[in-house]
Amino acid sequence: MSLDVIITGGGFSGVFCAKILSAAGYKVLLIDRHPETELGSRFESVMLDVDTFSKTAMERPQGDELLHLLDQFYAYSPSARIKKPIDFSSILVNGYALLQRLFHEALENNLSYLQAEVKGPLVENNRVSGVGADRRVSGVELKTGEQLKARLIIDASGMHQVLSSQLAALGLPLSEHPLTLESEYGIAYRRMCQSQTGDSELHIYFSVEGGYVWRSPNDIGVGMMSRVEPEQVKMILDQAIEQFGWEVGEISQEALGKIPLRYPLTNMVTNGFATVGDAAFMVNSVRGGGISAGLKGAKALAEVAKVALAEQDLSQERLWEYNLNYQRDVGAQLAYQDVMRMILMNESVENMEFAFERDIITADDIRSALGGKILDFSTMQKLQKGLRGASNPSLLLRFNHRLNWAGDLHKHFKSYPSEPAGYAAWESHLHQIQEHIQQ
């Protein structure tokens, strides 16, 4: 069978991309190492942005898929003495049910599915032409070293980045700046359980240096923006249960995994190839939420790929439109939010308590970090903050410095180059901005 598209990874990004491209009549093969009934099984409850469905034209969650609409949201200082109500909505869904629906819709469009371990990309004549894979069924290896080819190869393998991480060694680097997967990730840990909170409420406690703990109607969890051992993350959650006196029911499921931090990969395409989702660092790093950003990425990629496949032009130049559309819209927002993460999660608990108490970190700042509008302070607002934070000038300085650079980073992504020729200069300027932010 000659294939149009091979997608590695049956998470939300890969499955949604597969669904759109198969609906357009293309022959798509989706590969994942897990059996098809297990796709999405670790997503019993996930929080999504409310705009996910309008922005991707995906049908809203139905029946059992919809768990809760969250419209009450509270942020707490480290001691929980100060509680700020935040006007921000999101949606809790049964991710397994939603992902399995999308997958079955794609199968109805003649999507082919293969359970196999993808080993790496095949590169021929300066383009990605296929993948190498070992077939497996329920853990039993059937065939090793198989080569599968298609016109377009998509990496949606999440944090594994099984294809994009090998491209540089094969002579097709996506960027001059190496991937920094080793350092740029955090850890999230969730326990599914009744948490005795109101039906539509989410509570976030900035009680840990470099992270936070949360409580929603059906789960509790920790997001840490640094490398922490799994045992330590579990201990942080146990301490929070004790410190805040949460009453939690029996645990029905646990999940722990890495989450990418930072802004999206600045170039996501090369000849015959594109990457999407966690594999492309599409994540709101404040919330550790990558599903909405990945679904928007899958939609952006699939729309460009549909036309490129029809025009029989899968060159980097043709696929560049995907970079352009994503980076100037969602990428700019994610880059901004990543600096907000540094503001919210790089301070000591003492400084955070002070910032909450003096309203140096306001409800607006937190809403903006979660995915609200980009902040632009008037001189008067800056002055008011300055007076409130006068007894801790270094904190205020750091906060304002990062906030200014967050705005610059956002503008820089908004001016993402329309063609590959402008990319090197754009990327080099990006790294200068990053250096200022780190100072």
Ligand X SMILES: Cc1cc2nc3c(=O)[nH]c(=O)nc-3n(C[C@H](O)[C@H](O)[C@H](O)COP(=O)(O)OP(=O)(O)OC[C@H]3O[C@@H](n4cnc5c(N)ncnc54)[C@H](O)[C@@H]3O)c2cc1C
User: Interface residues with ligand X (CB under 6 A)?
Assistant: 8-14, 31-34, 46-48, 117-118, 156-158, 160, 162, 188-190, 255-257, 259, 277-279, 283, 288-292, 294
Minimum gap (Å) between residue 321 Cβ and ligand X: 21
The residue (of 160 and 234) whose beta carbon lies closer to ligand X is: 160
- Dist. CA 35–CA 10, nearest whole Å: 10
Minimum gap (Å) between residue 411 Cβ and ligand X: 26
The residue (of 293 and 406) whose beta carbon lies closer to ligand X is: 293
The residue (of 13 and 218) whose beta carbon lies closer to ligand X is: 13
Crossing angle, helix 393-414 and helix 349-357, to 10 degrees? Answer: 90
CA 286 → CA 105, 191, 252, 342, 371, distances in Å? Answer: 32, 19, 26, 9, 9
CA 75 → CA 80, 361, 434, distances in Å? Answer: 9, 11, 28
The residue (of 257 and 420) whose beta carbon lies closer to ligand X is: 257
Minimum gap (Å) between residue 284 Cβ and ligand X: 8
Minimum gap (Å) between residue 222 Cβ and ligand X: 9
- Dist. CA 133–CA 318, nearest whole Å: 27
Tokens representing 390 are 């006068």
Minimum gap (Å) between residue 423 Cβ and ligand X: 23
Residue 58: HSE in the Cβ half-sphere, 13 Å Cα cutoff: 33
Nearest 5°: the CA angle 127, 133, 139 is: 160
The residue (of 203 and 402) whose beta carbon lies closer to ligand X is: 203
The residue (of 264 and 290) whose beta carbon lies closer to ligand X is: 290
Backbone angles phi, psi at 140, to 5 degrees: -95, 125
CA 284 → CA 64, 108, 335, 408, distances in Å? Answer: 26, 32, 8, 18
The residue (of 190 and 318) whose beta carbon lies closer to ligand X is: 190
The residue assigned the tokens 């309203």 is 359
Tally Cβ neighbours within 10 Å of residue 28. Answer: 28
Buried b / exposed e over 377-388, threshold 16 CB at 10 Å, is beeeeeeebeeb
* Closest to 293 measured CA to CA, from 67, 45, 32, 49: 49
Minimum gap (Å) between residue 281 Cβ and ligand X: 10
Minimum gap (Å) between residue 351 Cβ and ligand X: 27
- Dist. CA 331–CA 175, nearest whole Å: 16
The residue (of 102 and 259) whose beta carbon lies closer to ligand X is: 259
* Amino acid residing at 416: Y
Where do the DSSP E strands lie in 108-184?
112-124, 127-137, 140-155
Q: Is the dihedral of CA 195, 99, 38, 264 positive or negative?
A: negative
Minimum gap (Å) between residue 15 Cβ and ligand X: 7
Minimum gap (Å) between residue 259 Cβ and ligand X: 5
Tally Cβ neighbours within 10 Å of residue 374. Answer: 14
The residue (of 181 and 256) whose beta carbon lies closer to ligand X is: 256
- Dist. CA 69–CA 196, nearest whole Å: 16
Q: Please report, to the nearest 10 degrees, the dihedral formed by the alpha carbons of residues 2, 7, 12, 18 taken in order.
A: -20
The residue (of 162 and 361) whose beta carbon lies closer to ligand X is: 162
Minimum gap (Å) between residue 436 Cβ and ligand X: 28
